[in-house]
Structure 1
Amino acid sequence: MKICLVNPPHTAIGSRVPDDHLPPLGLLAIGGPLIDAGHDVSLIDAEFGPMPIAAILSKILAAAPQAVLIGHSGSTSAHPTALAIAEGIKAADDGILLIYGGVFPTYHWQDVLSETDVFDVIVRGEGEGTAVLLMDALQAGTPLGLVNGIAFRDEDGRAKATAPAQAIADLDSCRVGWELIDHDRYSYWGGKKAVVMQFSRGCPHLCNYCGQRGFWTRWRHRDPVLFAREIAKLHREHGVELINLADENPTSSRKAWKAFLEAMIAENVPVLIVGSTRADDIVRDADILHLYRKAGVIRWLIGMENTDEATLALIRKGGGTASDREAIRLLRQHGILSMATWVVGFEEDRFKDLWRGFRQLLSYDPDQIQALYVTPHRWTPFFRIAKDRRVIQGDVRKWDYKHQVLAMAHFRPWMLFFCVKAIEVAIQARPKAIGRLLFHPDPEQRHSMRWYTKMGRRVWLREIFQFMFKDRFLSERPTLETFWGGPQDAEEESMTLPARRPKQPKAKVQEAL
C-alpha cells in the first residue's frame, strides 16, 4: 500500500522562532515497521517553513497515496491543524484513507469521530504494531473490529473503539525508519545535526497532571548496548552530533541507565545528549555523574513544576525543593547544564506565591529556566481536580503549555503574564548567569548557553507581541468540564500491560549485536 506520513506544522511560538528543526520521531517509529511490512512509505514534514495548508495538500495529492497517516508529538495543540489538513484531503479525494494517531486522538477518539467524518480510523496508544495490523486488515478487507487498539465508525456511523492494544514489550523489535528523512535538514542546539530518540517509554511516577504517563502504560527501556550502538551508527553514517531524548524519565532504572552510559563511552563517538529527568534521580546518581558527562550528556531539563511544597503535594510530584537544589548543584559540579521548568497558573496562586517562587529559583541557581502554564488533560487525575475551573483560552492551538488556559482566582491574565515575563528576565539576566554566558571555561557549554539565550530572547519578545496584539480570551468562560467533557482518568492507561519480556541468554544477546 502507498502510505504518506504527515507531520502537521505546530503553531506554538517556540516552535516557530528557532532556525533548528527536529525530525518527527513518532512518525518515523511507525514508518520503519510499515516499510519492513512491504509498504511504500513517504514522509511530509510540514514543520519546515512552516508549510501552509495549501502546500501540504498539494504535496500529499502529488504523492497519490492510498492512505495518509497524520500524527504530531504535541497532538492537543496540533489537532486543529491536523483536522484542517484532513478536511482538505477528503475534499480533494474522498478515496484516500485517513488515519489519525497521537495522545490527543487516543483519548478524544469519540469526540473526533463524532464531530467530523474526515478521519476514517484512529490509532490509540503505541502505533508501531497497530499500524501494520491495520494496513493488513484494510488491504485484505478484514473487519476493522478485529484489530485491537483502534477506533472507527461502524456501519451505522457511530464511533466505536476496539479492545486496547498490548503495549510493546520489546522496544528493540521496532525499527525507526531513519531512511524517511534527510538528516542534513534537521538540527538543534544551534546548528548541530540532530535527531530525537527514546531510550525508554512511560514513567513509574504518579504526577497527576502528566498527559504522557498513562499513554505509555508502563515504563520500559531499550537494550542499553543496542541503543548506544544505534546512536553511534547515526553519527558514523549520517554525521548526527546531538541526541534529544524524548523520554519522560530515561533514568528511572539506575542499572539500565548506567549500562547505557558505559555502552556510549565504549562507542567513543562525540555525540551530545540532552533530555529531561527527575531531580531525585540526579541526586541518587551522584556517584556516577562523571559517567553522564563522559557519555555525552550536556543538559538535563528538570521538571520542578513548582517551588511550593503544598502545590507539589497537590500534583503528586513526589519530589521536593531540597532535591531540586541539590540536583542543580551536582549537575554544575560535573559540567552538565540544568534547565528548571516552573509551572504557573494554579488557581489559588497569589503575588506572594510568585515572589516566593522567584526567590526559590534564585536560590536554585539553574543555568536556564522555562516557565510553563498548567494545562489540563481529560485523561489525567488533575482534570478531575480542575474540572470546575473556568477556561479563558478557547483556541486549542494555544493549549501548548506556553499560554494560560485556566482562569485564576487572584490574577487577571495580563497580571500573570507580565509577572512571568519579568521573572524570566530576572532569572536569566542575574549576574551569575551572565558571567557563565560570557566566561564559562567549557566552550561547548558556552555555545549552548549563548544559543539558548538567543532563542529565549526572540521567543520572549514574540510572546509579548502576541499577548498584547493577537491573543484573545473568552468573554463567556465555560467550566473546564463543559469545554472538554467529563473526566477520563478511569481510562488513563491507553493500552494493556506489555507481555513480560523473556530474558535472553548472554550469548544470544551478543549474537544479536
Structure 2
Amino acid sequence: MNITLINPPHTAIGSRIPKEHLPPLGLLSVGGPLIDAGFTVRLIDAEFGPLPLTEIARQVQLLETKVVMIGHSGSSTAHPTVVELCRLLKLAMPHLTIVYGGVHPTYHWDEILRECAHVDIVVRGEGEETALRLMHSLASGADLSLTNGIAFRKDGDAVATPPAAMIRDLDAYRIGWELVELTRYSYWGGKRAVVVQFSRGCPYLCSYCGQRGFWTQWRHRDPVKLARELAWLHRKHGVELINFADELPTGSRKAWKEFLEALIAERVPLLLVGSTRASDIVRDRDILHLYKRAGVIRFLLGIESYDDETIRRIRKGASTSEDQRAIRLLRAHGIISMATYVVGFNEESDRDYWKSYRHLLHYDPDQVQLLYATPHRWTPFYATVLDREVLQYDLRRWDYKHQVLSARGVPSWRVFLWFKTIEVLMQARPKVLARMLFHHDADYRHAMRWYTRIGRRVWFHEVLEFLFSVRPLRIGPTLRQFMGETLVEREYALAKRRASERSRSTLTPVP
C-alpha cells in the first residue's frame, strides 16, 4: 500500500525564515515504523517553496497514493490550510483515504469529521503505534473500531475509539530520517539542522499549555541511544545543530546528565537549542558546565509574567526570583537565555505593559520573544477567558504572534504598539549589542547576530501586516460565542495504563 505523508505549508511568519527549514519530526516519527512494517512511504514537505496546494495534489496523484496522512507542528494555525488541501485531494482522487493527525485534530475530531467531509480518519494522540495499527487495518479491511486512538464516521456519525495507550518506550519506534534529504534543511543561519525529542510531556500544570495534555505524561528516551543517534546524524549527514522539540528535556536531572555525558563522549561538534524551566537550570547549577561542553548554546525560558499572582493563576509553578537567577547562571556559562513573555493572560492596562517592560529589563535576558495569550479549547485557561472578546477570526493567525483576545480599556492598536516597542527596546539595549559584537565565544556571537537579523525581518513584517492587512476587529464576539464551550475534559489524550492492561470499550459517539 502506497502511503504519502504531507507536511502542509504554514502561513505564520515564524515558519517562513528565508532559506531555512526544519524537518517535520512528527511525520518522520510516524514514517519510520511504517517503512519497517513493509509499507511504501513517501513524504511531501510543502514548506519548501512553499508548494501551492494544487501542486501538492498533483504530486500525490503521480505517486499513485492510496492513503494520505497529514500533520503539522503548527496544528491549529495550519488547520484551515489542511481543510482546503483535503478538498483538492479528494477532487483529484475521490477514492483516496485521508488521515489527519496532530494536536488540533486530536481534540476537535468530532467537529472536523462533521464539517470536513474530505477527512476520513483522525488519529488522536501520539501517532507511531496508532498509525501503524491503522494502516494494517486499512490494508486488511479490518474493522476500524478495533483500532484504539482514532475517530471516523460510522453509519454517517462521527465516532471515536478508546484512547490509545501511551508509548512507554520512546525508542521502540525509530525516526524515518531516510524520508527527507537532510541537506535541504538548515537553521541558525544556514547550519544543517534537525528536530528531535529527548522527552515527551511535562509534569507541570500550566493552564495555557496546549501540549502537556496531548502527551499526557512525561517520559524520556534512552540517553545513550539518543546521543549515539545525534552523533550518527553528524557523522553521516553533516548535521550541525539539534533543535529539541521537548516541553521539558531536563525533566529528570539523572537522565539529562547521562545524555550530556554520553554526547560529550561522542566528541561531535554539535550545537543544541531547546526550551526548559528556570527551576531546572537553578537545580542543575553544578552541572551547567556539562551543558556547555555538550554543545548547549541557547535555552528558552518561559518567564510569562511580571506578576506573581498571574503566575499562580496560570499554574506556572515558578517564581520571578528563580527566573532571574536562571538567566544569570546561563550567562555565567556562556549559554544564551531567551525569555518568552506572554501578553494577554489578563486584560492589562497601560501601566501593566510598562511594568512588563521594566520587569524584562531587570531580568536582562540575552534574547526576548513576546507572545500573545492564545486560548485552546482543551486547556484550563480557555474556560477562564470565555467572556472576553475575540479580535481575530482567522484561525491561521492564532499563532501567538497575533492578538486574539481583547484587553478592556486598551484598544488593540495600543496593545500592538506596546508589544512591538518592548521588543525593539529589549533587543536594542547596549548590553545586548555588546554581547552580540564582543562576546568571546564565536558561536554565541553568531547566534545573537542571527536572531537579531531574523527578528528584524519579522518585526517589520508584523508592523506592515498590522497596518495594511490584518488589523484586529474593534468589536468581536465573545470567545464562547466564537469557538464554543471548553473541551477541557479531553485534555489528556492518551491512556496512561499499558495496552495489555486495558479493557476494550465501545465506540464513543459525538454527544
Match of 1:72 in 2: 72
Partner residue in 2 for 1:300: 299
CA pair 440-498 structure 1, distance change in 2 beyond 3 A: farther
Does residue 246 (structure 1) correspond to residue 241 (structure 2)? The answer is no
C-alpha displacement at 1:5, in angstroms?
Answer: 0.3
Structure 1 range deviating more: 331-340 or 483-492? 483-492
Q: 1:482 corresponds to which letter in structure 2? A: Q
Pair 1:182-2:173 in alignment: no
**Equivalence for 1:395:** 394
In 1, Cα distance between equivalents of 2:256 and 2:105: 32
What is the deviation of 1:458? 0.4
Do the aligned partners of 1:169 and 1:500 also contact (CA within 8 Å) in 2? Answer: no
What secondary structure is seen at the aligned counterpart in 2 of 1:169? coil
Question: Separation in 1 of the partners of 2:59 and 2:363?
Answer: 49
Partner of 2:311: 312
CA contact under 8 A between 1:30 and 1:128: conserved in structure 2? yes
Name the CA distance, whole Å, in 2 between partners of 1:86 and 1:298.
Answer: 40
The DSSP-based 3-state class of the residue aligned with 2:287 is helix
The residue identity in structure 1 corresponding to 2:337 is S
Return the offset for 1:348.
2.3
What is the RMSD of the two structures over their aligned residues, measured on CA atoms?
A: 1.2
Q: Distance in 2 between matches of 1:500 and 1:327?
A: 40
**Which position in structure 1 is the counterpart of 2:199?**
200
Task: After superposition, give the CA deviation of every residue in 1:476-506 in whole Å (9 maximum; x if it has no partner).
Answer: 52221222221111111001005399xxxxx
Which residue in the other structure is 1:451 paired with?
Answer: 450
Residue aligned with 2:243, SS: strand
CA distance in 1, matches of 2:232, 2:383: 45
Equivalents in 2 of 1:369, 1:51: separation in Å?
31
Q: What amino acid is aligned across from residue 98 of structure 1 in structure 2?
A: I
Instruction: Please name the residue that 2:214 is paired with.
Output: 215
CA shift for structure 1 position 410: 2.3
Which deviations, in whole Å up to 9, do the C-alpha atoms of 1:419-465 show, x marking residues without a partner? 11010010000110011111111111101100110000000000001
Cα distance in structure 1, aligned partners of 2:63 and 2:484: 38
Q: Cα 1:149–1:3, aligned 2, differ >3 Å: closer, same or farther?
A: same
Deviations 1:121-146 (A, max 9, x none): 00000100000100111111111111
CA contact 2:200–2:247 (8 Å) conserved in 1:
yes
Q: Give the structure 2 partner of residue 489 of structure 1.
A: 488
- SS of 2:203's equivalent? coil
Contact 1:302–1:338 under 8 Å retained in 2: yes
Q: What is the CA–CA distance in structure 2 between the aligned matches of 1:413 and 1:347, rounded to whole Å? A: 14
Tell whether the 8 Å contact from 2:165 to 2:499 is kept in structure 1 after alignment.
no
Amino acid at match of 1:86: C
What amino acid does structure 2 have at the position aligned with 1:306? S
Amino acid of the residue matched to residue 447 of structure 1?
A: H
Query: How far has the Cα of 1:310 moved from its partner?
Result: 1.4
User: 1:53 and 1:261 mapped to 2: Cα distance?
Assistant: 42
Judge conservation of contact 1:347–1:407 (CA < 8 Å) in 2. Answer: no
1:60-92 CA distance string (max 9 Å, x none): 211120000000011000000111110000011
The match for 1:29 is: 29
Partner residue in 1 for 2:48 = 48
Quote the Cα distance in structure 2 between the aligned partners of 1:452 and 1:364: 19
Displacement of 1:475 in angstroms is 5.5
CA, structure 1 residues 41+474, in 2 after alignment: closer, same or farther (shift >3 Å)? Answer: same
Q: Does 1:377 align with 2:376?
A: yes
In structure 1, the partner of 2:234 is 235
Question: What residue is the counterpart of 1:169 in the other structure?
Answer: 168
Partners of 2:426 and 2:117 lie apart in 1 by 48
3-state SS, counterpart of residue 172 of structure 1? coil
Paired-residue identity, % = 59
Residue 347 of structure 1 pairs with residue 331 of structure 2: no
CA distance in 2, matches of 1:244, 1:368: 17
Report the equivalent of 1:226: 225
Cα distance change, pair 498–250 in 1 and its aligned pair in 2 (3 A): farther
Separation (CA, whole Å) in 1 of partners of 2:56 and 2:307: 45
SS in 2 for 1:41: strand
> Equivalent residue for 2:6?
6
The one-character-per-residue Cα deviations of 1:274-301 (angstroms, maximum 9, x if unpaired) are: 0000000000100000000001110000
Alpha-carbon shift at residue 337 of structure 1 (Å): 0.4
Counterparts of residues 27-176 of structure 1 (less than 5 Å): 27-155=27-155, 157-176=156-175
- Structure-2 residue corresponding to 1:420: 419
- Counterpart of 2:422, as a letter, is I
CA distance in 1, matches of 2:220, 2:418: 40
- Pairwise CA distance, 1:346: 2.7
Q: What secondary structure, in the 3-state scheme, does the structure 1 residue paired with 2:202 have?
A: coil
Please give the secondary structure, in 2, of the residue aligned with 1:171: coil
Question: Stretches of 4+ moved more than 6 A in 1?
Answer: none
Output the CA distance in 2 between the equivalents of 1:333 and 1:147: 51
Give secondary structure in 2 for the equivalent of 1:286: coil
**CA displacement at 1:18 relative to structure 2:** 3.5
- Distance in 1 (alpha carbons) for counterparts of 2:18 and 2:252: 33
1:508 corresponding residue in structure 2:
none
> What code does the residue aligned with 2:51 have?
M
Deviation at 1:43, TM superposition (A): 0.4
Q: Residue 472 of structure 1: CA displacement?
A: 3.9
The 3-state SS of whatever aligns with 1:20 is coil
Greater mean deviation of Cα atoms: 405-414 or 453-462: 405-414
CA–CA separation in structure 2 for the residues paired with 1:12 and 1:303: 21
Deviations 1:215-272 (A, max 9, x none): 0010000000001010001011000000000000010111111111111111110011
Amino acid at match of 1:201: R
Q: TM-score, normalised by structure 1?
A: 0.96
Task: Identify which range, 56-65 or 133-142, moves more after superposition.
Answer: 56-65
| Corresponding position of 2:266 | 267
Q: Distance in 2 between matches of 1:119 and 1:319?
A: 41
1:17 to 1:265, Cα distance in 2 relative to 1, 3 A? closer
Query: Which amino acid is 1:65 matched to?
Result: T
- SS of 1:427 mapped into structure 2: helix
